A and B are shown apart, each in its own frame.
Chain A
């Protein structure tokens, strides 16, 4: 399933406009993302970073313009099948253990069971796997939420403020994970303030400052 052709994916946005609740949040956003590339999306609070990521993930309809996958072979039309969004909300059920939460996501993503342990190890959660999610700290919850990226096996990662609440070590681990993902042919878009440093990443600004 995870052949190189399917895994190498890029993205092109052409004059995209997205509205939420009848109000246009984003207008005329154009950008390209090549396979193996990481894009940092910056902008003030409320500039539309989350809206952009949700639109790319297919969770929000695009009002105008076009979002297209590139370099993804013939089955590239379904964007949803290639992108995974890890948002502010960690999607954890407090009453379930960390491993149970991951197992649920793995089933939804049709991921092999082995990938659960892989994801736990990737975000240093193996020792917490049998704790109820309710007992995790904010940073641990965020890390558990980010395991969705690894579990999904999707080539295009969309991270929304992943640095919030996590410590420097975990942040280094996360950036390492994103880098390894991109080296394998994947791509990532990270909405963030300036805490994340990825030398290879390109930055774009959305919102009012973008045109200034």
Chain B
């Protein structure tokens, strides 16, 4: 257990130090939102309409960009060997790496989201549902992403391949995430069920991704 905490703590420290990914993730997220906003133009009603889908899409894209970091560096420098040698269950190491990825890549987005929502003219009552849907849904992105990173372990230039592999698997989270954010904004009765479905996707990913990810790592270490 302390080993898993150490893995998460080390990844967070690495992300916060110079050259780490925490600031990069937030900046990429901001850039993606800005590009959308510039393309849509100055019509405030259209922007407000698009705010939740755009923020969710940008969150998804900036998560994709950081996925190949999850295992590749540890694989190349030998740290993954140490983790495999010392771990009671490799599945839990995969889970710890997904948690670390969420803390260093998704949490900065959730913190930056309110500021960018302001830019997109999101109505006041939309903030709570947006942040709640991101908080419930983004762990699934990190978990499924960790599986994708494990599957492509050891491949050169795996970044694009991970995105292609993982992108389609993000569809349920995106659909239910945007659905919940919009329903919450409009006060629609589907708000609660959407959040529950979003949570179900995350729980499903939490159960499956560590198992499949560990199997993929064992296979790719050969």
Contact = CB atoms under 8 A, between A and B. Distances in A.
Nearest to B10: A104
8 contacts: A59-B85, A60-B221, A89-B76, A89-B77, A92-B77, A93-B77, A96-B13, A108-B7
Contact of B14 (A21, A60, A80, A93): A93
Contacts, number: 68
Contact of B86 (A61, A88, A96, A109): A109
Contacts of A99: none
Interface stretch (B15-23, B104-112, B113-121): B15-23
A11 interface: no
B222 A21 contact: yes
B83 interface: yes
B81 A80 contact: no
A59 B20 contact: no
Contact of A95 (B19, B82, B84, B87): B19
A108 B77 contact: no
A176 B4 CA distance: 34
Given A87-B81, A105-B82, A148-B82, A110 B13 contact: no
A95 B10 contact: no
Nearest to B75: A89
A19 B219 CA distance: 12
Interface of A: 19-21, 57-61, 80, 83-85, 87-93, 95-96, 100, 104-105, 107-110, 145, 148
B78 A87 contact: yes
Given A80-B85, A85-B85, A108-B86, A93 B3 contact: no
A107 B19 contact: no
B124 interface: no
Contact of B79 (A58, A88, A93, A95): A93
B10 A90 contact: no
B196 interface: no
Most interface-central of B2, B3, B6, B86 (chain A CB within 10 A): B86
Contacts of B7: 108
B85 A96 contact: no
B19 A90 contact: no
Contacts of A148: 82
Which 8 residue pairs across A and B have the least CB separation, nearest first?
Answer: A89-B78, A107-B6, A91-B78, A108-B86, A95-B17, A91-B79, A108-B3, A104-B10
B77 A60 contact: no
Nearest to A87: B78
Contacts of B76: 89
Contacts of B221: 59-60
B222 A20 contact: yes
Nearest to A107: B6
Contact of B84 (A59, A92, A93): A59
Given A60-B221, A92-B77, A108 B17 contact: no
